[in-house]
Amino acid sequence: MRTVEWSNGRVRMIDQRRLPWELTYLEFEDYREVAQAITDMVVRGAPAIGATAAFGMALAAQQAPALDMGSVIEFLEVAALIMKKARPTAVNLAWAVDRMMRVAHDDVYSDANEIRRAMLDEAQRIADEDVLINQTMGRHGAALIKDGDTVLHHCNTGALATVDYGTALGVIRAAFEQGKKFHVLLDETRPRMQGGRLSAWELHRLGQPFEVIPDSAAGYYMRRGEVNLVLVGADRIAANGDTVNKIGTYMLSVLAKENKVPFYTVAPTSTIDLNTPSGDQIPIEDRPADEVRTPYGNPLIPEEYPVRNPAFDITPQRYLAGIVTEAGIIHPPFRENLTKAVAMAKAALKV
């Protein structure tokens, strides 16, 4: 099951807003609709957003009406700006768009149709690489999980947050597939309930034992000694190891440190932003207030009450035991070791 894919000249994706009640797919014929789908969280999760943006750019290349290469490139430049604005925090989006534009700007083409074919090939390559990278991360991270452990997980980082397999939830999946016997606690992850809806849906389908808990109960279980490991994903990792992830992650990292529970981030090297020195320079997206007031159409908070709804928070690197990547498990000093990991990954993919 792929979260996003190319299908008969369209971008096809699971509508994650309707899970777990209904598994439905949407198809888009316009790159602007793809960008809006990212904004509206039809698709979410940093790697999935990156692959979706890549397919959106391939779609833009198909849409470009011009026959000459220069005009197609101009059309793609505009599409790239629109795509990058869809969600500002996840670095994979800009990473994928920039990678697609490097292909567009290559000087090996003889006509505009060759650009179009190359863009689609590159988008498919990004999607396929994501699956292989996630499976590799899963194998690395599964070593952290022992029989009898209870793992706490926040948000959704599984197949739905990627093209397939997953990052932090991919580690859990890999350990399950290795035959390990362990339990998972899933934070519900308000206000959009990605843990209670999406991660629970994935683990239920897998057959992995789990329980959904209120976000506010994580500290309770840590203090009781019922949590052995915390695994989370990331939407961006700064050069010093500071991690931006779904709101509530910072709180978990502090609780884990206080209760001496190892806390690991799991993310591909494409999520590492070596151009950003620390988390303080990363923009944090503010989501609509109605996500808090009326989640999924259920009125909970009166409209006249003020609401703030940050989508992410910043976890300082000092709270991390390590960062699981496709290049292995990265430990402090993060600034030096993340640079090495990115170089290793690029050399392996020749990107």
User: Which residues are part of the catalytic machinery?
Assistant: 235
> Rounded distance, CA 273 to CA 148, Å?
35
Backbone angles phi, psi at 265, to 5 degrees: -95, 140
Alpha helix locations (H) across 64-160? 69-84, 91-104, 112-142
> Rounded distance, CA 294 to CA 254, Å?
29
> Rounded distance, CA 311 to CA 22, Å?
24
> Rounded distance, CA 86 to CA 67, Å?
28
> Rounded distance, CA 246 to CA 190, Å?
10
**Residue 81 contacts by C-beta under 8 Å, 6 or more apart in sequence?**
none
**Residue 347 contacts by C-beta under 8 Å, 6 or more apart in sequence?**
none
Structure tokens belonging to residue 342? 């990115």
CA of 346: how far to CAs of 55, 331, 340, in Å? 21, 19, 10
> Rounded distance, CA 31 to CA 10, Å?
9
Q: Provide the residue type at 120 as one letter.
A: L
Q: What is the DSSP letter of 286?
A: B
Structure tokens belonging to residue 326? 């496709």
Alpha helix locations (H) across 162-282? 168-177, 200-206, 218-223, 249-258
Q: Provide the residue type at 191 as one letter.
A: P
CA of 129: how far to CAs of 56, 134, 238, 268, 349, in Å? 17, 8, 22, 11, 9
CA of 121: how far to CAs of 30, 61, 103, 303, in Å? 18, 12, 10, 47
Residue with tokens 């934070």: 187
